[in-house]
Chains A and B, each alone.
Chain A
């Protein structure tokens, strides 16, 4: 700060605290609702302090014994599906992107620029604009209701490739020369030098892609019809499609909490890399 202005400082904190409250209020309310009985929630106004049903509601949600319209599948199972999908998407993307970025930066081969542009174009079009035909491909390959169908089409994007390409270009050229002097071939150089140096980028990308994978909605909505393959985000949506009044809001909200906790933890615990990765990827 340039000069001392105690009043302005106080005002600063006031604005920020207000911001935090507004941002956090939906979360707080969700938590409160997830600790109430469903009767307590429907009587307006609902209590604004946590109730005593925490264990009951979460157990009911996790095991799918809550009853109600769509709450038959255990959320525990859905979370496993979400976790596996998010891991396949994030790790798969990182793996194929590392390899292709390595090829593009460190080799000269025919049609290199053609492939470069081919990958580059995919940056532009999110899966949402080509859902119909993509769905058909997945259906024709018999990948509906499989992890492959849930994940591989979402791996087909270039963000990670570009992040790694950018990063590789900043790796000093002399390191490659030194490695060649030391007798390291391409695979060895990749494994011993490039990969360890990319650790931070990989961590950052992992956070971003894990959240991307966990939070997918439209795609799983299309390719999963079997309740056993619902990710948790879809599960919530199925629970609330019953209608306003007959909904078991307490179970829905417990499920919502469960759906938010893993990605939120990843973001907060890996905040340092996440923030760096986010700002670097896009700039």
Chain B
């Protein structure tokens, strides 16, 4: 929809839009272009010599076992975060939607993890599971389960997944709750009159009606797991043990700033950009469909 009546001025709109355009040009388009250029270059660790290498950086990545492993790690990580996070928050939202009294209190108590910084979330969970002092790892040991995420890659992955899910649960919860509340009451009542009991009503009426929300959250959660969880991983495991929790973003950072492989890091950035753009396109295709529906 466009406005019918608009203001006329030859200079004002330019002046209004200028600050944003300057900022995004300087800190967005220029760096993105640089990433593209660098991904086709090779420079030594001191940045004294630069040469064009074409797609060599990409070829190297393709042949780099640790990069492919990082893809695998990212896939495991993001699918786990999305599936576990969505399931738990849907469960909570469905029950919160049933509550008449105290709904606001529950909501308040469930939304605050949204405010917690991912890095802090990582530290909190690290503290609970620290092999020497952690309360949970102690309890597990008492129960006969030896927890050590410093040595066991699966434990480390579980730890970062839990921290990431915990941090994201409030976001998912709010969207599911909003989705549930927008389902017309009359539909549920009609199903009840048709004799459907709560469990059946959920699977035949509520869940299908929620599918747009669920799909939207799925994409958002995958993007979240791809990018926003850097801080959780860096504070909880630093990618360890070994490289068992090195996700793609972590590797971009590590290769670019620790290993000083600018070309390789830039090539990884470009691949990440392609992934995000693909995810965004999927999401927009879907949103369009939803509008028609």
CB-CB under 8 A for A152 and B120, given A20-B106, A125-B273: no
Q: Which of A119, A138, A211, A279 has a CB less than 8 Å from the CB of B178?
A: A279
CB-CB under 8 A for A218 and B230, given A236-B119, A256-B123: yes
User: Is B60 an interface residue, CB under 8 A from the partner?
Assistant: no
Q: Which of B14, B38, B166, B234 has a CB less than 8 Å from the CB of A132?
A: B38
Q: Are B21 and A105 in contact (CB under 8 A)?
A: no
Beta-carbon contacts under 8 Å, A195-246 to B: 211, 214-215, 217-218, 221-222, 233-234, 236-237, 240, 244-245
Chain A residue with Cβ nearest B30: A137
Chain A count of residues within 8 A CB distance of the other chain: 107
User: Is A49 an interface residue, CB under 8 A from the partner?
Assistant: no
A residues less than 8 Å from B62 (CB atoms): none
Cα–Cα, bound, A259→B234 (Å): 17
Beta-carbon contacts under 8 Å, A227-283 to B: 233-234, 236-237, 240, 244-245, 249, 252-253, 256, 259-260, 263-264, 266-268, 271, 274-275, 278-279, 282-283
A interface residues (Cβ-Cβ under 8 A, vs B): 1-3, 5, 8-9, 12-13, 15-16, 19-20, 23-27, 29-30, 33, 41-42, 44-46, 48, 95-97, 99-100, 102-109, 112, 115, 118-119, 122-126, 128-138, 152-153, 155-158, 161, 169, 173, 176-177, 180, 185-187, 189, 211, 214-215, 217-218, 221-222, 233-234, 236-237, 240, 244-245, 249, 252-253, 256, 259-260, 263-264, 266-268, 271, 274-275, 278-279, 282-283
Q: Are A256 and B3 in contact (CB under 8 A)?
A: no
B interface residues (Cβ-Cβ under 8 A, vs A): 1, 3-7, 9-10, 12-14, 16-17, 19-21, 23-24, 26-35, 38, 88, 91-92, 95-96, 98-100, 102, 106-121, 123-128, 130-133, 135, 138-139, 150, 166, 169-171, 174-175, 178, 188-189, 192, 198, 216, 220, 223, 227-228, 230-231, 234-235, 249, 252-253, 256-257, 262, 265-266, 269, 272-273, 276-277, 280
Q: Are B27 and A132 in contact (CB under 8 A)?
A: no
Q: Are A44 and B120 in contact (CB under 8 A)?
A: no
B residues less than 8 Å from A253 (CB atoms): 127
Q: Are A23 and B20 in contact (CB under 8 A)?
A: no
Chain A residue with Cβ nearest B268: A129
Tally A-B pairs: CB < 8 A: 301
Cα–Cα, bound, A95→B116 (Å): 25
CB-CB under 8 A for A125 and B276, given A137-B26, A282-B216: yes
Q: Are B120 and A124 in contact (CB under 8 A)?
A: no
The 8 A-B pairs at the shortest CB distance, nearest first, are namely A133-B34, A217-B231, A133-B31, A215-B117, A263-B115, A103-B16, A107-B13, A134-B31
Q: Which of B98, B132, B174 has a CB less than 8 Å from the CB of A278?
A: B174
A residues less than 8 Å from B12 (CB atoms): 103, 107, 186-187
Q: Are B123 and A13 in contact (CB under 8 A)?
A: no
Q: Are B16 and A102 in contact (CB under 8 A)?
A: yes
Q: Which of A26, A122, A244, A260 has a CB less than 8 Å from the CB of B132?
A: A244
